[in-house]
Structure 1
């Protein structure tokens, strides 16, 4: 029967203007989820094509300043100030743009639909399939795949990630990640190496059931990051395993010792930011 064939459901999704799907979700599941009417029809898998990514990389990273936008139409090399992106849309009807900044890196925006953002709660988070396309696009744009990418992208990423590291704990929840990855990341952002640490494998600090191991030691087994850093790592590096928020452990007595060490670190960080005046 046609209804049993994946292409049948794919065509139904395409008739609704959606031609992308998360790899872990079948076209049938996507169609039956009821999410299609709320999804952006202007995102598409062609944005993940290697030739498209390479063509946009130089433009994106050379223009990486606050309040800049880059058009993601494959035929367009427009960039400009955020205030003027609606003028570009009105003229050329190109929907998808990247909003650039020295900290948030890349915020995807559709002029016909709504903004997509992983960090700010007042903008759309996107369905699972939308999130997949957005994360994959961002990660690909930030990857160094050719010799010509190395100097420009590596230097810019080191600057940006260093800035994120410096301000990450301002009014922020803390999150727990593996110490060895954190150390490699610091080596990259400090310029000790030009090789970034790759995806965060946050599995060594978990038990077999996936929960956090309560016998861990801060500074030896794990380190803390803030909300902004977590958002960036998930988007630019990718994560295997779970990044646990320290707030989620407060109601569990077995994490009492671990939470005590986290609170001491937080107090130290706070005193360094706000020293007493004598």
Structure 2
């Protein structure tokens, strides 16, 4: 123990970085009062642990200590760097101003690389670079950020809030015009419209969306409006300071229904105030019987609803 107490901080933190369980780190801190006193509430200590794992981001509501103790540090992608945000406008131009007759594209997000694939039948390993982070855009992949080194899509795991927050922030920025280039704006919103139409027309309508925002979204999907809607204010559907829906809310007047794919896409790309809940969240409460009856009637009717072109 004396040897550990006398170790320089740089060596000690390096040793701890090789520990693969956060509980073991806590046990180490508890083995001597000096360690507990100096490091347990030391934000720099927990931050240094994360950086030694090449993790430089966290959810703004979480501390670096929480990042380690939740073991999120061991699970999030270490290859997605904040520096990728600095080259968003260039990557937008690469994705949406290239002369391509296809709705599919996979682009490398590395800042010095302009590699792009526009044929979804081409295996991704044939991309002319070896950088790990790429963005896939198509009516079926939405805006999907993938890491070839981690071999997975990033930001789709609710148990990794820091990664989800970072990927969501990047996608929202990427899907919003960052320059005054009208050609870029038109092309970007055209591709967004194609993706959102594909999402909108999928079956399974059970998620509750505030009516005026839904109507504006529909105008964008139909091409009657050039720009997508703004903030979704679902909060007005709920009781004050509560997650319970107001019993007097009516389908077609106060809210409309969307499918699960649309719910996922809206939460990913649009800013919301208030939760997006499902009809299934209401079924255990007798006060919503009339509302659920109206929803089920509507669901039967939309089985024959024409697809929006």
Which of 78, 81, 86 does residue 125 from structure 2 map onto?
Answer: 86
Q: Does 1:55 align with 2:95?
A: no
TM-score normalised by L of structure 1: 0.86
Which of 100, 111, 116 does residue 148 from structure 2 map onto?
Answer: 111
Runs of 4+ in 1 over 4 A off after TM superposition: 62-67
> Would the aligned equivalents of 1:96 and 1:109 in 2 still touch at CA under 8 Å?
yes
Q: Does 1:144 align with 2:183?
A: no
Aligned to 2:14: none
> Would the aligned equivalents of 1:104 and 1:232 in 2 still touch at CA under 8 Å?
no
Helix, strand or coil for the counterpart of 1:244?
A: coil
TM-score normalised by L of structure 2: 0.78
Counterparts of 1:121-132 in structure 2 under 5 Å?
127-132=160-165
Aligned to 1:265: 298
Q: Structure 1 unaligned segments of length 5 or more: list them.
A: 274-278
Helix, strand or coil for the counterpart of 1:69?
A: strand
Q: What is the total number of aligned residue pairs between the two structures?
A: 263
Higher mean displacement: 142-151 or 203-212: 142-151
CA distance in 2, matches of 1:256, 1:117: 39
Larger relative CO (CA 8 A, sep 6+): 1 or 2? 1
**Change in CA separation of 1:161 and 1:46 when aligned onto 2, cut-off 3 Å:** same
CA distance in 1, matches of 2:178, 2:67: 32
> Could you report, residue by residue, the CA deviation over 1:113-163 in whole angstroms, capped at 9, with x for unpaired residues?
1322677xxxx5561001011111111110123221322212222233233
**Change in CA separation of 1:157 and 1:68 when aligned onto 2, cut-off 3 Å:** closer
Aligned to 1:276: none
CA RMSD of aligned residues (A): 2.3
Whose radius of gyration is greater, 1 or 2?
Answer: 2
Which of 199, 216, 227 does residue 231 from structure 2 map onto?
Answer: 199
CA distance in 2, matches of 1:173, 1:44: 37
The CA deviation at 1:7 is: 3.0
Q: Does 1:15 align with 2:48?
A: no
Q: Structure 2 unaligned segments of length 5 or more: list them.
A: 1-37
Higher mean displacement: 194-203 or 256-265: 194-203
